[in-house]
Amino acid sequence: MKRFPALLAALLIAAAVVPNLACAESIPMASPEDPHIRVVKYDRADAVRLVVAYGQRTHIEFGAGETVTYVSTGDDAAWDVGPAKNIKNHLFLKPVDKFPQTNLIVVTNKRTYNLNLVVGTKATYYADLLYVYPDELKAKADAKHAQSTLDATSAGSEPKPGDNTNYWVQGSDELTPSRAWDDGRFTYIAFPAGAQLPAMYTVGDDGEEVIANPSVDPNTGVLSLPYLVKKLVLRRGDKLVACVFNKSYSGPGRGSPTGTISNKVVRTIKGAAQ
């Protein structure tokens, strides 16, 4: 039977968020495209209703890494049931006698499954039953979220293609940034993890130093200024000094109209007239 990745993904998500009825028989969720394909959330405390039909074989797929080790029905003579020879987490069954309604117990190397076998028709039987596992789905979602956060953090801590990285440093090694760049609008300065941040000053054409107040990204630790600079002076105490030169400086850049990283955030000065 063909599998449709997008369809299965939707069913997996739906099965994960729709709760089973506690201490009740679980009814597997039907595919909107083919009601013979069903998905059910695993719950050790619930039995799953499995509708079969005479002359039709039903397939059950358990979790990846599981191996079927024991299978038993309430009426073994009425059922042809057994695991696939080469696919250890798959089970096939069909009714072979009259009035075969009973229960099915499947034990794997990881879990125990309880099913109620009910005889239906060719129109209502389940051809394919797929189990999904809430703990595994949550682990995958958490891992995906963590990776997205890591990607976002990494993206904000490194220059992008087209950014100006032509920055030179002269002075104390203890104050030397690990990276310096700009995107034509903002200037970014990154220091090694755990480094004590120095005081930062911009230097005008007249040589006058003006203290800079960079923003610090809480995720990456990268310092940013909402404008371009030709030269920065870094100081710690009276003895440690380093200068950062923008060798590709061509003007102050566009900057941000609000003086912050985001145009939606406005910087206010305490005591200033509103």
271 is a domain residue: no
Question: 23-27, 34-38, 198-202 — which is least confidently predicted?
Answer: 23-27
Do 65 and 101 share a domain, yes or no?
Answer: yes
User: Domain for residue 161, yes or no?
Assistant: no
Q: How far apart are CA 243 and CA 246, in angstroms?
A: 10
Query: CA-CA distance, 20 to 35, in Å (whole number)?
Result: 19
- Picking from 123, 139, 155, the residue at the C-terminal end of a domain is 139
* Domain contains 40: yes
Does residue 262 fall inside a structural domain?
no
119 and 238 inside one domain: no
Same domain, 130 and 208: no
Q: Give the domain CATH number at 218.
A: 2.60.40.2500
41 and 117 together in one domain: yes
Q: Residue 71 is part of a domain; what is its CATH number?
A: 2.60.40.1080
Question: Taking a C-beta distance cutoff of 8 angstroms, is the pair 164, 250 a contact?
Answer: no
Sheet holding 209-211, edge to edge: 167-171, 240-246, 231-236, 199-203, 209-211
**What integer pLDDT is reported at residue 149 of this predicted model?**
55
pLDDT one-digit tens code per residue, 72-99: 999 989 999 999 888 899 999 999 987 7
Same domain, 129 and 186: no
18-31 pLDDT, tens digit per residue, is 444 444 689 999 99
Please check whether residues 129 and 193 belong to one and the same domain: no
Selected residue with higher pLDDT from 165 and 7: 165
Residue 224 burial class via C-beta count within 10 angstroms: exposed 0-12, middle 13-18, buried 19 and up: buried
What pLDDT sits at residue 262? 42
Amino acid at 20: N
| 206 located within any domain | yes
Residues 130, 226, single domain; the answer is no
In a domain, 238, yes or no: yes
User: What tokens does 146 get?
Assistant: 């963590």
Residue 122 and residue 176 in one domain:
no
Provide the edge-to-edge strand list for the sheet that holds 102-108.
25-26, 47-52, 112-119, 102-108, 68-73
Token reading at 44:
């050790």
Distance of CA 169 to the CA centre of its chain: 38
Q: Is 75 part of any domain?
A: yes
Report the relative pairing of strands 37-41 and 90-95 from DSSP bridges: unpaired
Say if 256 falls within a structural domain.
Answer: no
31 and 109 together in one domain: yes
Any idea which of 10-24, 210-224, 243-257 has the lowest mean pLDDT? 10-24
Count of structural domains, the chain: 2
Side-by-side strand order, sheet with 128-132: 29-30, 37-41, 128-132, 58-61, 90-95, 79-83
What is the rounded CA–CA span in Å between residue 191 and residue 77? Answer: 73
137-162 confidence digits (pLDDT tens)? 888 877 776 666 555 444 456 788 88
Expressed as residue numbers, the domain containing 227 is: 167-246
- pTM of the full structure: 0.51
